[in-house]
């Protein structure tokens, strides 16, 4: 794990008045500390690469470029990820899980683009599973208003963040559920996760990036203590 067992040296206790011996001791301690940061030799870590501005911590960022549909009303459904945007120390597994290569405390962030095509308000609830087990206190519920008209739907960006511990090999998944699932067959109005391609002017009104149905990241916070 990055910077495992890497600790700063204690600073000498300062005297009441200027003392040249104390100053030399202080400079030596600081030189030792920053010398370890500048070292070209990894310190207890595959990802410690020399200077502080070269430090690479375990992380992953992913997104999905497809519409995602729940498998039914009140049926928990796995969030899928089609694109690895950035990553080190994690493995992205198809269709929607991530495996940790290093233990630690991590922060999970996600943003899901929900749309409601129904003429009634509905909700969507999102939570995290670790090795197939629900992470305690990880669920968040989102309210999605009724559509404005038959062609003007309601959109909600569902964002949340959760911090939890990972062991080596732990598998992380995000699940969601809605009380009224949209189905493209029929179609049946309801809630689904919406994506849209990038726009280019012309023929579109203006340029903008694509809208993924899901965006998520996991970042290292701390070693397990």
- Nearest by Cα to 58 from 130, 132, 166, 160: 166
Positive/negative CA dihedral, 86, 90, 91, 93? negative
More confident residue, 45 or 225: 225
State pLDDT tens for residues 28-48: 878 877 776 655 444 444 554
State pLDDT tens for residues 131-180: 999 999 999 999 999 999 999 999 999 999 999 999 999 999 999 999 99
* Mean pLDDT (the chain, rounded): 89
**For residue 122, what is the enclosing H or E element?**
strand 122-130
Cα distance between residue 39 and residue 3, in whole Å: 12
Cα distance between residue 212 and residue 69, in whole Å: 14
pLDDT, residue 70, reads 97
- Nearest by Cα to 73 from 167, 173, 178, 166: 178
Cα distance between residue 129 and residue 99, in whole Å: 12
Cα distance between residue 94 and residue 133, in whole Å: 19
* Residue recorded with tokens 């964002």: 159
Whether residue 43 contacts residue 25, with contact meaning beta carbons closer than 8 Å, is answered with: no
pLDDT, residue 27, reads 86
More confident residue, 88 or 23: 88
pLDDT, residue 15, reads 83
pLDDT, residue 213, reads 98
Whether residue 198 contacts residue 63, with contact meaning beta carbons closer than 8 Å, is answered with: no
- Model confidence, pTM: 0.78
State pLDDT tens for residues 176-195: 999 999 999 989 999 999 99
Listed range (4-8, 44-48, 62-66, 152-156) with the worst mean pLDDT: 44-48
State pLDDT tens for residues 196-219: 999 999 898 999 999 999 999 999
pLDDT, residue 41, reads 44
Whether residue 218 contacts residue 97, with contact meaning beta carbons closer than 8 Å, is answered with: no
What integer is the mean pLDDT of 7-32? 80
């Amino acid at each position: 794990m990055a910077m495992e067992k890497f600790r700063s040296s204690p600073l000498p206790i300062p005297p009441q008045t200027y003392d040249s011996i104390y100053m030399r001791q202080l400079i030596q301690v600081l030189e030792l500390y920053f010398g370890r940061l500048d070292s070209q030799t990894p310190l207890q870590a595959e990802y410690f690469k020399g200077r502080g501005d070269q430090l690479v911590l375990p992380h992953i960022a992913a997104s999905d470029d497809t519409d995602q549909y729940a498998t039914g009303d009140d049926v928990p459904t796995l969030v899928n990820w089609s694109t690895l945007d950035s990553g080190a120390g994690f493995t992205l597994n198809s269709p929607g899980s991530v495996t940790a290569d290093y233990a630690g405390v991590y922060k999970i962030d996600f943003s899901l683009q929900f749309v409601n095509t129904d003429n009634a308000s509905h909700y969507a609830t999102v939570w995290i599973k670790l090795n197939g087990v629900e992470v305690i206190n990880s669920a968040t519920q989102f309210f999605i208003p009724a559509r404005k008209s038959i062609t003007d739907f309601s959109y909600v960006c569902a964002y949340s963040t959760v911090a939890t511990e990972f062991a080596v090999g732990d598998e992380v998944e995000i699940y969601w559920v809605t009380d009224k699932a949209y189905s493209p067959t029929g179609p049946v109005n309801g809630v689904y996760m919406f994506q849209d391609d990038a726009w280019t002017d012309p023929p579109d009104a203006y340029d903008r990036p694509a809208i993924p149905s899901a965006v998520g990241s996991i970042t290292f916070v701390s070693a397990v203590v």
